Chains A and B, each alone.
Chain A
Amino acid sequence: MQNNFLGGLKEHENRLLTVWSQLLIESGSDDGAVEEEESKEFASLFLSALATLNGRFQDSQEFEKVEDLIVGISTSRGKRGFSPRENAQYLTTFKQASSQILSELITDSENLYQANLELNAIIDNMTIMTFEAFMRGREDIISRQVDEISEISTPVITVWEGIVALPIIGTLDSSRTQIVMENLLQQIVDTGSSIAILDISGVPAVDSLVAQHLIKTVSATRLMGAECIISGIRPEIAQTVVHLGIDLTGIITKASLASALKTAFDMLQLTVVKRKLV
């Protein structure tokens, strides 16, 4: 029964738009948006869906279109700088406007109550969908940034002819190790280097997983015919690694990048000498 009452809104579309526009302006979340085509399109599609509703709105294909539209609108409003709160207000003011028209149309209080109940259910559902769309948008941004960060934070630097260095900052989880390893091996090939220095000064903790990744990277480097030195092992990390029981014998480790470089020079039979004053 209540569906019929909600369906009656279609005949009052223009008035609803006027009331809605007013409420949006009062709520402060409007920049003439209701004047825009998208709002008219939304109202029109929504009211038509109500007018033809037959059964549960959750099952209605018409409503699926309305929901797609509102998700699209709130995504584009989000990009234009509207907050999630303002996006929610876009829908709550639409609900208020519809309620106001309904109270003029329906005199019987029980019928009015039922109609509002149904209206609430539909609009609240859409509000939730716009929030979910907003969250998805944010999550997309975050995961893109995570990818970018893990790439930019693994630069391979040629410090000398034949020596590349890779400072690692942050946590070496499995996915990052993969990137680090690929970058490093590629650079070894590209530069024809025979020594790689992996500096872990910026790694907050070396647990057995990180250690395993480091060991793997060293082995892969050696398979390419190059030697790998791990530098930047702070005293507290060294002690912790020993207590954990990790065996790093067989791997050249140095406290600082400077001492790793010195070792690398030795291996390449290079000497750095201070110029004599004549």
Chain B
Amino acid sequence: MTTITNSKEEALIIREQDVVPLRNRVKEYGVKIGMSILNQTKLITATSELVRNLLKYGGGGKVIIESVSNGRDNGVRVTFIDNGPGIADLSLAMKDGYSTGKSLGLGLPGTKRLVNEFDIKTELGNGTTVTITKWKNG
């Protein structure tokens, strides 16, 4: 299934104050395609988790927001890119409750449950890229 991008924008995330504006922007993308309140909430909560990880562990980075469609449905895709230390043990990081930061350890596994597509690429010393997609009817 090919996915096409209808519109796209980038945001630089360097401090905690950047979290709320980004979340609002992502929400606007959801509103524009008529996403339900429940799916909007899931999408912005997932965004919130990943952008906090990008700040806390990745030392900041770049976020790409896209409005996408696959022929059957429209959706919002968000990509989080950092050049931080990367994740040493990805399968451990994806487990509920695992955290190296004294927090709940639910960001990565929880986000995966909140969205329709979840992709993570990480390399030690070379950063982490997480891409999520939430479909309007997904």
Contact = CB atoms under 8 A, between A and B. Distances in A.
A112 interface: no
Nearest to B48: A207
Most buried by B among A174, A204, A212: A204
B96 A240 contact: no
B44 A204 contact: yes
B110 to A, nearest CB: 4
A204 B113 CA distance: 19
Contacts of B110: 208, 243-246
Given A171-B20, A207-B48, A207-B49, A246 B106 contact: yes
B49 A240 contact: no
A245 B103 contact: no
A173 interface: yes
A139 to B, nearest CB: 11
A179 to B, nearest CB: 15
A205 B113 contact: no
B41 A237 contact: yes
A171 B45 CA distance: 12
Contact of B103 (A206, A212, A240): A212
B107 interface: yes
Given A205-B44, A206-B45, A207-B49, A212 B114 contact: no
Interface string B98-136: 000001101101110110000000000000000000000
Given A173-B19, A208-B110, 7 more contacts: A208-B106, A236-B38, A236-B41, A237-B41, A239-B38, A244-B114, A246-B106
Interface of B: 16, 19-20, 23, 37-38, 40-42, 44-45, 48-49, 52, 96, 103-104, 106-107, 109-111, 113-114
